[in-house]
Structure 1
Amino acid sequence: MRSMDGEQVTKAVTGAVAALRAGGDQDWSEVIAGRLEWTCLRTAEHLTGALCGYAGQLTARARDARVPLYTTLRDGVDHEGILQSIETAAVLLATVIAATPREVRGFHPLPFRSANREGFAAMAVTEIVLHTHDMAEGLGIAYEPEAELCEDVLTRLFPHVRPGPDHWRTLLWATGRGDLPGHAPVTSWRWSNNLVIPTERLTLQGITPAAAMDLRQGGSGGFEWLDGSPYEGTRDAAGMLVKAYESGVHRPEWGMFALVRSEDGRAVGAIGFHGTPDEEERAEIGYDLVEGARGHGYATEALCALADWAMTGDGGEDDATYGFGFGAKHSVKELLATVERTNIPSQRVVERAGFAQVGEGQGTYAYALRP
């Protein structure tokens, strides 16, 4: 699996600056940036501020609010100074990302209030390529980022967008900047960092389509696994997630989570939903652990946390607050679990989590949890 890190940020800004040099003969304070209401100068200032802000969030490890760090370009800055500022901000962020441990998270409001270094790298690349497109469109110059950068962004920040044959065109459409054959125009959008749910000893870390693809193909998904690799059921579930993503029906809050042990950052298993809730607001849940993690109560702890999350309706910030027109709130009225009759330990897990047996199948018991 390709990593999303500071190198990707540097690659994105190198291509952006190279393209924008062709616009040096125009007044950026007068030219409107594509479909935006901002001038190219204001767009460049926003981009510089976003990159510096992301570096500040990771450096401060802020969890509850944005760090009050603001940057502006000085009055009268020339074309070369604008490009130098963008490049400097990107290098600053790339350096911070390289020095930040994987488990560190910083605040970001949408949609689940936090992101790790990979998330901030992906957001930075998105800011760079999209706003470079905006400025290039206004200035009348050619620009197209590398396809791999666009694919990496889509599979990490846009899990709800069905992938298309052209990653750049898909990203432009998904962010309201272009048309895609067979798709309605996008008028409001957001990206989606992975959801993370903390417990006493674990963090349930949402698995992105990029990580799921890697797991399905026999990789680690970017996690350090306790026994060296995940249980086979985790790879099967990752394959289901990839199919949902490729069909355009995957929703990250109803997806799959790695169980990462807080004491050492190692993944000990996976848990997740078999799909989005049905019309009766019911969802089915499943889980597994690597052999070396069994018998320590991790499955029960994770199941209790995920069940509580699913029933409380706390899905993150309400996007309507930020002008997106749709929310991340959620809830279910019933959670279901199917356990093999011979799997006594798993039966004990669901029972300890409050599930009650409600039926039987061929070789299985059906359990349900209601508020």
Structure 2
Amino acid sequence: MADTMTNRLVLHPIDEIEAERILGGVPTPVDDWAPGYPFEGDLEAVGGFLAATVAGGDQRPWGYYQLRRREDGLAIGGIRFAGPPDASGTVEVGYGLIPDARGKGYAAEALRGMIALARANGALRVIAETSSKNIASQRTLRDVGMPRTGSAGDTWRYELALTPA
């Protein structure tokens, strides 16, 4: 599967071999990781991707995407679909960046790229959840047009209906 390009990022869909390298935390010469990558959130997401791949085969396009800066090629975080769309066409997305990459608009840019991927692959709705305390993530979700649609305790839910591609 091909990389998805945004203005400043490459959304690189990882495969099983890359997932194992990321989980091992030891880059090979072909891996360009910024200091701090992978962080705990990446390891959780990649672990889920790998488990789903082992159980059900290749998850792409509904898997984990490594976020690389186009300017230097360094991996600075990840963004993922939590699996293929459900029966209603809804797909969940989650994302995270190393601390040095936060506050620069990368998360919103990556999320716009994932929304476009979801639309192009037939999803009808994108959802995301975040903590009521995660102001930066709430701002990112609003910035890409995902309004808050509900909550369960400390978890807030955001949704975006997609028009067919």
TM-score range (shorter-chain normalised) is over 0.9
| CA distance in 1 between partners of 2:31 and 2:138 (Å) | 28
1:205 is matched with 12
1:285 is matched with 93
User: Which digits, 9 at most, give the CA deviation of each residue in 1:282-331, with x for residues without a partner?
Assistant: 100000000110111000000011102211x2xxxxxxxxxxxxxxxx21
**Runs of 4+ in structure 1 over 3 Å off:** none
1:236 is matched with 44
SS of match in other structure, 2:126: strand
Check if 1:214 corresponds to 2:16. Answer: no
Of Structure 1 and Structure 2, which has the larger fraction of its residues in helix?
1
- Judge conservation of contact 2:62–2:80 (CA < 8 Å) in 1: yes
TM-score by length of 2: 0.92
User: Which digits, 9 at most, give the CA deviation of each residue in 1:120-166, with x for residues without a partner?
Assistant: xxxxxxxxxxxxxxxxxxxxxxxxxxxxxxxxxxxxxxxxxxxxxxx
RCO higher in 1 or 2 (8 Å CA, sep ≥ 6)?
2
Q: How far apart are residue 276 of structure 1 and its match? A: 0.8
1:248 to 32, 52, 56: 56
Q: 1:247 to 1:362 in 2, by over 3 A?
A: same
2:156 is matched with 365
Can you give the 5+ residue segments of structure 1 that lack an aligned partner in the other structure? 1-193, 314-329
| CA distance in 2 between partners of 1:290 and 1:206 (Å) | 18
SS of match in other structure, 1:305: helix
1:268 is matched with 76
Bigger mean CA offset, 220-229 vs 249-258? 220-229
Cα RMSD between the aligned structures?
A: 1.4
The structure with the largest alpha-carbon Rg is 1
Q: 1:224 to 1:341 in 2, by over 3 A?
A: same
Of Structure 1 and Structure 2, which has the larger fraction of its residues in strand?
2
TM-score by length of 1: 0.42
Can you give the 5+ residue segments of structure 2 that lack an aligned partner in the other structure? none
- Judge conservation of contact 1:226–1:292 (CA < 8 Å) in 2: no
- Judge conservation of contact 1:273–1:283 (CA < 8 Å) in 2: yes
Structure 1 counterpart of 2:15, one-letter code: T
Percent same amino acid at aligned positions?
A: 34
| CA distance in 2 between partners of 1:367 and 1:265 (Å) | 30
Structure 1 counterpart of 2:122, one-letter code: S
- Matched pairs, number: 161
Check if 1:342 corresponds to 2:150. Answer: no
